[in-house]
Amino acid sequence: MGNPFQDQLLKAGLVNKKQANKVKREKHLNRKQKKKDVSAEISDQARKEQAAQAERNRELNRLHAEEKAQRELKAQVKQLIEKNKLECDNFGDAYHFVEQGKIERIFVSTEMIEELSCGQLAIVKLNDTYEVVPAKVARQITCRAKEAVIVFHEKKKA
């Protein structure tokens, strides 16, 4: 059973069977074309969303990699300080230094004060404590985390 309006036009003799089939075929092709257009739009939108999601994932991966690298550097600095720190003399002389605009002090022996002054030793910060380490270790720490080295009177090469 076809379109009732089309059937009425055929009975009245206003159109013939060939014209009715042609119109029917054109309608069918138009509907098919619209479906293709809609599906093309949907697939384009899906591709755009996938590209945006991939970009977000790349950015998140980059941030995670940076954070991981920072944690690794901090762990290396902590390990260097803990392995190479020198024992401070709590009954020795006070060595005063400035950190972030505040005068701090650490008690060390007289020999350590001289070595700190001439650049053979350095003061580094581990968490909230200050430690004394050899100059070689201070250079290694400076390469990884410059902010960890508080006092280092390194001789400038001419």
Tokens read off for 148:
């960890």
4 and 69 assigned to the same domain: yes
- Per-residue pLDDT, 158: 45
| Structural element, H or E, at residue 86 | none
**Interatomic CA distance for residues 125 and 90, integer angstroms:** 17
Residues 2, 75 share a domain? yes
Give the pLDDT of residue 157: 54
pLDDT digits 0-9 by tens, 100-145: 888 888 888 888 888 888 888 999 988 888 889 998 998 888 888 8
**Judgement on whether residues 48 and 90 belong to the same structural domain of the protein:** no
Last residue of a domain, one of 83, 118, 140: 83
Look at residue 57 and tell me if it is in a domain: yes
Per the CB < 8 A criterion, the answer to whether 104 and 97 are in contact is yes
Would 157 be classed as within a structural domain? no
What residue numbers bound the domain in which 89 lies?
85-151
d(CA 82, CA 137): 11
Lowest mean pLDDT among 6-10, 21-25, 68-72, 134-138: 6-10
**Are 79 and 32 in the same domain?**
yes
Separation of alpha carbons 30 and 24, rounded Å: 10
Poorest-pLDDT segment among 24-38, 94-108, 141-155? 24-38
Do 69 and 118 sit in the same domain of this protein?
no
Q: CA angle, corner 104, sides to 103 and 105, nearest 5?
A: 130
Q: Long-range contacts for 52-60 (Cβ within 8 Å, ≥24 apart)?
A: none
In a domain, 156, yes or no: no
Would you say residue 100 lies in a domain?
yes
